[in-house]
Structure 1
Amino acid sequence: MIRGLYTSASGMMAEMVRNDVSANNLANVNTTGYKKDEVLFMTFPEVLIQRVNDQKQSEISPRPVIGTLGAGAIVDEVITSHEQGQLRESTNPFDMAIAGEGFFVVQNDRGTFYTRNGSFTLDSQGYLVTTQGDYVMGQAGRIKIGSSNNVLVDAAGNVSVDGQQTAVIRIVTVADKAALTKAGDSLFTGGQAAAGNAGQVKQKSIEASNVNVITEMVNMITIMRAYEANQKMIQAHDVTLGQAIEIGRQQ
């Protein structure tokens, strides 16, 4: 009976984590380059249930087996889905998206990061930066555009200003995306970066979040139903325990 309480409680705690993850996904549905998170569960080892009061047939034979009993579930890990989001057209000549594999490389005071958020602009000194002010890195360092709006970026990431090539946007791929860690503002850190097999750069485009609103809403409903079911199980166990205690007092 006590095991049943632990099983239901672990289920409720797991659903709370799942609810927080889905809520965060929904909150970032309009965040450029955002990658949704998913929850992976792990079950406790199942317990073999036997009829302990049955008479053994012999000294070496086991008690009759009823079956197995699940001992609850916990959150194993929260993973990030790197599925590409929809590419949307933009009127900003500094907006860019990557069609296929790869990440833009940006740099700030905290270090170097990777991102799929290509919503770029120019700072006061004419450098290409993110909306948070992080420098967008090229093959030779920071990319300086100047004051011109006559900027063309081809599929390979070559940047031309007023007809003259000035830089090449640095795009890297990460073979093991599971090694990447979210650092906020659609930034990632960690992982072993490589230069090959990158996708094509699309100027005047941005990559939308890969969150599916309908799927997340269905997940939220499923989570609430599972949470309520575990809650009712705890209430049922509480009533049963109360009755057992009352019977024990009378005896």
Structure 2
Amino acid sequence: MIYGLYLSASGAAANMARLDVASNNLSNVATVGFKPDFLPVRQREVVRAEDDLPFADSNALLEHLGGGVQPMATRIALTQGPLELTHNSFDVGLEGQGFFEVQRGKGADGVHLTRDGRFTLDASGRLVTVTEGAAVLDHRGSPIRLDPSRPVSIGSDGTISQNNAPVARLAVVTVDDPDRMTKMGSNAFKPDPEVMAQRRPSLARVVQGAVEASGTNSVQALMDATGASRGAQGNFGMIGIFNDILDSAINTLGRVS
């Protein structure tokens, strides 16, 4: 009976975690360049195996039921979002795997990656992100400065030209292990130092005058949220049933007449 209570509690906790992830994905369905998360869930080992107690008493029936479920670390789904035309000469979208580099802090540790290509010029002519004014970096890791009075053309390889002369080239890179990236807010990602040090140029195509829409599938996210909510409700209901059974066992069966 207590074992069933623990199984239901683990199921409720896992479904609540799934609901949090699905709700966050759904709330970012209109966020440019957003990459949805997903939450893998694994079956827990039975207590005897999980606690490394090979000589503990075994209950074949309970061990057949397993140890419940356990959410694992949240992962990022790098699904390509659709490109939406904006006709803004400073907006760029990526087709294929890759990221722009932006300087959000000091030094190498402040270099983050993003798929949000909404850029503009600040008062000094630097190319910066619309969301927070972070400097957009070129392929050499330097901020990009442009002449505000001249039109801008951006090629599919990220080369920025003014008056038909190349001025800079956008840093577009890819990483080998995206699971080791952390979301930092404002659509930015921070890979761990080892992954960042091994980044390399990407073959993604740069599209001027467009931005990548959210990678969230609104229908799928809604279905995930609904399924997680119902799963949590079902497990909470089972917890209530076990609680009633325990109450009866303690207050009725255990009563001395």
Greater Cα offset, 191-200 or 112-121: 191-200
Structure 2 residue 230 is the aligned partner of structure 1 residue 234: no
Structure 2 residue 97 is the aligned partner of structure 1 residue 101: yes
Equivalences for residues 1-251 of structure 1 within 5 A: 1-46=1-46, 65-66=60-61, 68-110=64-106, 111-131=110-130, 132-140=132-140, 141-190=142-191, 191-192=195-196, 193-245=198-250, 246-250=252-256
Letter in 1 for 2:71: V
Greater Cα offset, 189-198 or 12-21: 189-198
In structure 2, the CA distance between the partners of 1:178 and 1:64, relative to structure 1 (3 Å rule), is closer
Cα separation, 2, equivalents of 1:171 and 1:199: 8
Structure 1 runs (4+) deviating above 3 angstroms are 62-67
Cα separation, 2, equivalents of 1:194 and 1:235: 51
Q: CA deviation digits over 1:133-179, x for unaligned, max 9?
A: 00000124111112135100111111001222111111111011111
Instruction: Please state how far the C-alpha of 1:199 moved relative to its aligned partner.
Output: 0.9
**How large is the Cα RMSD of the aligned pairs?**
2.0
Greater Cα offset, 5-14 or 152-161: 5-14
Does the CA-based 8 Å contact 2:16-2:229 persist in structure 1? no
In structure 2, the CA distance between the partners of 1:26 and 1:149, relative to structure 1 (3 Å rule), is farther
Instruction: Please state how far the C-alpha of 1:65 moved relative to its aligned partner.
Output: 5.0
In structure 2, the CA distance between the partners of 1:137 and 1:235, relative to structure 1 (3 Å rule), is same
Does the CA-based 8 Å contact 2:45-2:66 persist in structure 1? yes
Cα separation, 2, equivalents of 1:231 and 1:149: 63
Q: Alignment partner of 2:201: what SS?
A: coil
Query: More strand per residue: 1 or 2?
Result: 1
Does the CA-based 8 Å contact 1:125-1:146 persist in structure 2? no
Cα separation, 2, equivalents of 1:95 and 1:64: 62
Gaps in structure 2 of 5+ consecutive residues: 49-56
In structure 2, the CA distance between the partners of 1:15 and 1:96, relative to structure 1 (3 Å rule), is same
Cα separation, 1, equivalents of 2:7 and 2:59: 24
Does the CA-based 8 Å contact 1:93-1:149 persist in structure 2? no
Name the % identity.
34
Cα separation, 2, equivalents of 1:63 and 1:3: 13
Cα separation, 2, equivalents of 1:156 and 1:40: 35
Letter in 1 for 2:212: E
In structure 2, the CA distance between the partners of 1:122 and 1:241, relative to structure 1 (3 Å rule), is same
Cα separation, 1, equivalents of 2:181 and 2:59: 50
Gaps in structure 1 of 5+ consecutive residues: 49-61
**Which one has a bigger Cα radius of gyration?**
1
Does the CA-based 8 Å contact 2:137-2:170 persist in structure 1? yes
User: TM-score, with normalisation over the residues of structure 1?
Assistant: 0.89
Residues paired across the two proteins, number = 238
Query: More helix per residue: 1 or 2?
Result: 2
Greater Cα offset, 102-111 or 126-135: 102-111
Instruction: Please state how far the C-alpha of 1:17 moved relative to its aligned partner.
Output: 1.2
Instruction: Please state how far the C-alpha of 1:71 moved relative to its aligned partner.
Output: 2.1
Cα separation, 1, equivalents of 2:144 and 2:47: 61
